[in-house]
Structure 1
Amino acid sequence: MDLSTRLSYLFGTEEYVTMRRQLVLLRETFLNHNREQKVHPICSGSLGEGVAFPKSDDDLMFCPTDLRVVTTYREATEAPDVLMVPSEFSPGYCRLLDVRGSYPNHVLHSINEIPFVSSSLWKQQSAREGQYIHGPCHSGVIGSQEYDFAFCIPCYNWPDIANNWVIRDRSYDWPTNEMIQNIVRNGCHVVPIGDPDSPCYEHEWRISFSLAERTLMHSFNHTQFLVYNLLRLTLKRVIEKGIPNVFCSYFMKTTLFYIAEKTSIQFWQLHDLEVCFKTCLSVLYDYVDNVYCPNYFIPEYNMIKRKINHTNRHKILDNLRVLHTKGIVDIIHLSGESMCLSATLSPIIMEWKLDREFMFSYHLHFAYELKNPFDPYHLTICNIVRFI
């Protein structure tokens, strides 16, 4: 069995991945079938991107339909509109100005008597029994499925700080102009988490491009998909064992985005999987060596500035050198992943997994379409401005 076939058995065949991606879109359509509902869920994270990784959380973003972020005062025409004020401390973060004084005091933080919607207070008000706050999310378990729910606010305009992403030169036409226009048209979201280095950390919001990232991930060919899974496997089963809580899969995704933009699609061929993977490791090595991993949409935002120190930097670099030398087969062995996992990707089991995920969405939908309009959780999530 050649390497690409083995990896397809481990991470998913091309047909299986296509089904997962179609399921994501079907699931989202199902969850948002009622146009009058006050919250629209968006499938995000690894499952939203079609990644079949063991024990992946179910990531959902919940976006209120009656709230929005605007980027200029002129656009703030509705009472709940909040103005995005870019952080003076951290690129990629912002504060949300309550333009018309519509928000309740217990989600506001005043700076020089100017009211801003506080991310930390927002999360506290959105919390539900059995959940705990994890970064910008509320985490918990439904049945046996772990989940991360982020209660965010949509911004239908593309933020100025990411304008250079739209116009920068791309020699290999990825992403395509059509993809870029579609991404810009869909805007972004803000999620309730600040930059820990900012003095306004508890009240800032992070600009999120989750929908854009999902669009980009869905455009990847199977080689790129396998390489991304290998990078995640390397992170979760090898690097994190010796150096926990430093890297995250988002760094791996960012690395892959930058390389995909700077290489021809002819580079990403199944027979060159080893070369593609080692190229990603080399770029990741440079990020760690320079202690600078630029955000894909906002390069001024260094995502590892707080993660890397003198001690762990050298340890990570040593790890990456060893991984680069050993190659893919040894990494799979080092990770402890058994090839018997291929049994979970048989056609019958695949069908069961897809059906199981769809049924989880079905139950989740009814869990959030609450019938009692005065249910306190319904008020908190669906009508946070009007009723809290």
Structure 2
Amino acid sequence: MEQHISLTLFGGLCSVIGTSEVIAMRRDVADVIEAVEQRVRSSDESMSSMESGSQREGFRLIGSDLDSMKWFNDHRVIWEFSQIQSYNPSRTGIIFADCSKSLPGYALLQFITFINNKDTIEALVVRNGEYYISSSKFRQMALKFFSLIKYSATLHGPCANCFIGPLKYDQAFCFVSDFWPPSASSWIKRCSTWPRPEVVHDIVKHGCHFVAIGHKMGNHEDFEWRISFSLAEQKLVYSMNHCQFLTYGLLKLFLKEVINKGLTDNDKQLCSYHMKTAVFWVIQQNTVSCWCPQNILENFDVCFKHILKWVYNGVCPNFFIPENNMFLNKINGRVQEMLFRRLSELYDRRRQAIVQIPLISWYFTHVIRNNPILLFSTNENFFVSETNFDEELYFEIFNKAASDASDIITSIKYLNTINQLINLPLSQYHVAALQKFSASIFLKLAFLFQSNNKGTNKFSYSVDKFACYMMKLAAKFGFLSDKLLVVAYYYKTSRILEALSVLEKIRVKFAKQSLMYNRSVDEDLYIAAVGGKSWSTKTRESVARDVRLFNGINYLNELIPEQQFSLRNKKLTLLIPPFVLFHMLEIFCYRLVYPKKANNALSTLKNLICENKNFKVPYAILDISYQILGICQQVTGNLEDAFYSYRESLRQHQFNRLKTATLFRMCTILYRLIHERRMS
């Protein structure tokens, strides 16, 4: 009976968290895009960054934070003075990690050689004639980072938290060491069974990070730093088999929906990091006989008991530095007693509690009821259809395969880097992500070259020919909606009939019921149209996403105020629904050759936005949609209608930060209307 429930739970977790193939895809897309970014940025910029946390591990659970770490490329932390010889002190700020005055897992960072870095210098403090970097002062960098892009943030631990739309971002500024901490050397010796030797070697050679938070029981809390193994932990999670990963995911769900449900942040004693640590220890100590679908519940029980034991003893040993008790000064006395009693009660009714977790409960009551074949199946192909998998893939690629580069030189560096990676052994997901990344760069280059095309006729012809070639490549590897930028290019270069020809082809494909827009699609019709075909074929024939316009690039003269004011408000892109952009381009083109058709297209655009019957205009970006309606009304002479559309744009959530541009356009219309009435 227990094994049957485990099999059903395995299917539920595959549906909620992801099958092994879905998780591999998410990781591959994130890995290859980060590889491109790091190769391009490491030589050009002063800082490197890394996505961390549960999102990078492969989870996409509702409410998950987007965690990121940033560090200076020209600073390195050493553990022994002999390691200085690995660097050029005139170009690298050398920092010595002094663990002798701190509790296990923490260190003081002492400056040995200085370089001119304002942020680091501002965080310096002097103790006994030596220069140390204050963690409390350095944490302010994260707040400064969000304030520069005009977002309000608060400090939580070593990170600054900020909501951008519905998503919560955690940004930590840190320092990096290329060497493995001596205090974690015992971990290497423990790794006889897990992870594999090549994983251990890879982890050790990548060193560790230092995040700006001190131990509350230490003597130097304000300028102490915590040793972070985020990259090592990511590699360990990657090395888990799928049942181990699902058990980790189940513990995270149980923590959020059962243990911590209804508690304030101050009352939450356990966090997902404790769950991950428990899974690490259980795997390495071979406590579980078999990590397989039939044993999901047993595996969960073993990990839960591990946590119970830790709470009872008041000791949670860090996986890399066991001497670092992560419960110290947090779970003791009355709090420890109450938490142990609560966890013991939950353990006794854990089966009932697991089934009542909302996402799992939904799977049991809806999916199983409609498809009983899934009840005891371990075939992961049953849990995610081809359509659902494609939705996941396009979502990941759209969100990650784009850079904010807005100049020719950097864009070409991206293409060269992608070209180098293409020659390496790659998975099919690596290739799909790089193809879409390339398409976005091709589109940028076409507009960048066009904007800088001010030479002789012969030179202009060559530039235009090159830009058109870029467009052709983008159309081959990009989404169907990317072809709208091909139309924009033709319109901008006064090729109206060519623009209308491409628009007509897009219209036919947009009208098909098999079109996948964001995550909305008729599954049967989609499979009938493109099922079994390559992803490049699917994307150019049947996939539309919202269109990004990078504000540093001039795509359409009519949108210059929107892009400029949005950029001044620290917004790097405009995000436009493809159907709105389609009708805008249609109106712009028709008004030059078929004015009556322009009016019909304007009516269609107005109905699309105001009625939004088929949800083709996401509520989050109604601001730009009403703005574009107003622009189209304004260019066709409907000034009063345009004014009301702009006013409606102001009432929407300002995702694209258009308020200043909208007020500018409204003032322009008012001035013109007043002038016309005076003249009449």
- Could you say what secondary structure the match of 2:261 adopts? helix
Counterpart residue number, 1:165: 187
Q: C-alpha displacement at 1:332, in angstroms?
A: 3.0
Q: C-alpha displacement at 1:289, in angstroms?
A: 0.1
The question of 1:115 aligning with 2:94 is answered no
1:338-357 paired onto structure 2 within 5 Å: 339-340=361-362, 347-357=386-396
Q: Any gaps of 5 or more consecutive residues in structure 1?
A: 378-388
Distance in 2 (alpha carbons) for counterparts of 1:210 and 1:24: 16
- Could you say what secondary structure the match of 1:41 adopts? strand
CA separation of 1:112 and 1:165: change in aligned 2, threshold 3 A: same
The question of 1:190 aligning with 2:210 is answered yes
Q: Is the 8 A contact 2:243 2:293 kept in 1?
A: yes
Which stretch shifts more, 211-220 or 100-109? 100-109
Distance in 2 (alpha carbons) for counterparts of 1:186 and 1:15: 27
The code of the aligned residue for 1:111 comes to R
Distance in 1 (alpha carbons) for counterparts of 2:97 and 2:269: 30
Q: C-alpha displacement at 1:294, in angstroms?
A: 0.1
> Whose radius of gyration is greater, 1 or 2?
2
Q: Is the 8 A contact 1:274 1:327 kept in 2?
A: no
CA deviation vs aligned residue, 1:321-373 (integer Å, no higher than 9, x gap):
23333344x22344333644798966545544443344333567559x999xx
Give the aligned CA root-mean-square deviation in angstroms.
2.7
Counterpart residue number, 2:170: 148
Q: Is the 8 A contact 1:40 1:63 kept in 2?
A: yes
- Could you say what secondary structure the match of 2:93 adopts? coil
Q: C-alpha displacement at 1:201, in angstroms?
A: 0.9
Counterpart residue number, 1:295: 318
CA deviation vs aligned residue, 1:289-310 (integer Å, no higher than 9, x gap):
0000000000000001122133
Q: C-alpha displacement at 1:222, in angstroms?
A: 1.3
The code of the aligned residue for 2:130 comes to I
Q: Which structure exhibits the higher relative contact order, with contacts defined as CA atoms closer than 8 Å and separated by 6 or more residues?
A: 1
Q: C-alpha displacement at 1:206, in angstroms?
A: 0.8
Partner of residue 13 from structure 2, selected from 1, 7, 18: 7
Which stretch shifts more, 248-257 or 5-14? 5-14
The code of the aligned residue for 1:168 comes to R
Q: Is the 8 A contact 1:68 1:81 kept in 2?
A: yes
Partner of residue 314 from structure 1, selected from 328, 337, 340: 337
Q: Any gaps of 5 or more consecutive residues in structure 2?
A: 1-6, 368-382, 411-550, 553-567, 571-680
- Identity, % of aligned positions: 31
Specify which structure has the higher proportion of helix: 2
CA separation of 1:225 and 1:338: change in aligned 2, threshold 3 A: closer
Q: C-alpha displacement at 1:147, in angstroms?
A: 1.1
Counterpart residue number, 1:95: 108
The question of 1:325 aligning with 2:348 is answered yes
1:356-371 paired onto structure 2 within 5 Å: 356-362=395-401, 365=404
CA separation of 1:12 and 1:125: change in aligned 2, threshold 3 A: closer
Counterpart residue number, 1:36: 43
CA separation of 1:363 and 1:311: change in aligned 2, threshold 3 A: farther
Counterpart residue number, 1:50: 58
Partner of residue 180 from structure 1, selected from 185, 200, 203: 200
CA deviation vs aligned residue, 1:96-116 (integer Å, no higher than 9, x gap):
111124465421011112100
CA deviation vs aligned residue, 1:54-88 (integer Å, no higher than 9, x gap):
12111111122221111122333424111111152
Distance in 1 (alpha carbons) for counterparts of 2:154 and 2:258: 27
Which stretch shifts more, 18-27 or 110-119? 18-27
Q: Is the 8 A contact 1:98 1:117 kept in 2?
A: yes
Q: Is the 8 A contact 1:107 1:125 kept in 2?
A: no
Partner of residue 17 from structure 1, selected from 23, 26, 36: 23
CA separation of 1:132 and 1:348: change in aligned 2, threshold 3 A: farther
CA deviation vs aligned residue, 1:2-39 (integer Å, no higher than 9, x gap):
22112211221122111122122123123324041322
Counterpart residue number, 2:222: 202
